[in-house]
Amino acid sequence: MTKLSVNINKVATLRNARGGNVPDVVKVALDCEKFGADGITVHPRPDGRHIRFDDVYALKPVLRTEFNIEGYPSPEFIDLVLKVKPHQVTLVPDAPDQITSNSGWDTKTHFSFLSEILDDFSSAGIRTSIFISTDAELVEYAAKAGTDRIELYTEPYATGFVKNPEKAVTPFIETAKIARSLGLGVNAGHDLSLENLNYFYKNIPWLDEVSIGHALIADALYMGLETTIKNYKKCLSE
């Protein structure tokens, strides 16, 4: 079964736009769990424009499902993850001022850097994942670096899906097969939606997890959070 992890960054963005604590990030996370989410994802950035470090500390003791923290492994981020000890950490090559993640790691170039960080997290009992594009060599270096999983960067799939779904998903199938042959788990995320998620899942049914935030929260504005989560879960079961 492919798990659905809901990224709640956009909820924090809405809260921060007004100040105060509306909407309540912790309550929304707990509601996501109640409505069927298999996990919660957060991506704290240095400028605190959405999820903040104090949100991460507040979420950890109350969540009942899997907690995934993603982000660039700066010293501050590494310290946060080692203190909170989530179930999973996903390393993303974001610049500090980046609006959203728009590329995967060059695991060959950054092999030594990633290996050391992965070892620290693994020693702390935290499952590791590396955000990566569809490239066989980069998957091989990710495996050599010691990651437990990769997360496929799926924006190119979402963009290509509109015109040619089969062509769009093919490189992801091939990359996922290579990862599986190397003993790696496979996650996916970025621009997955109700329109393209089921097709992706049907072609890579051994996916461990998808992390979805922007589209899911946008859909919830129209359908409500409970119905939206159920609809996304349905995409991962048919």
Q: Given the residues 33, 66, 70, 151, select the one marked as catalytic.
A: 70
Count of residues for the chain? Answer: 238
Which residues pair with residue 71 across a beta bridge? 91
What tokens appear for 5 in the block?
Answer: 């992890």
Q: Given the residues 33, 43, 50, 151, select the one marked as catalytic.
A: 43
Q: Given the residues 50, 151, 190, 209, select the one marked as catalytic.
A: 190
153 within 8 A of 104, measured Cβ to Cβ: yes
CA triple 233-236-237, angle to 5 deg:
95
Give the integer Cα–Cα distance in Å for 111 and 150.
14
Going by C-alpha positions, the residue among 72, 59, 54 that lies closest to residue 8 is: 59
Give the integer Cα–Cα distance in Å for 47 and 14.
15
What tokens appear for 63 in the block?
Answer: 């969540």
DSSP label at 106?
A: -
**Is 76 considered catalytic here?**
no
Going by C-alpha positions, the residue among 160, 79, 152 that lies closest to residue 120 is: 79
Give the integer Cα–Cα distance in Å for 157 and 152.
10
Catalytic positions, written as ranges = 43, 70, 190
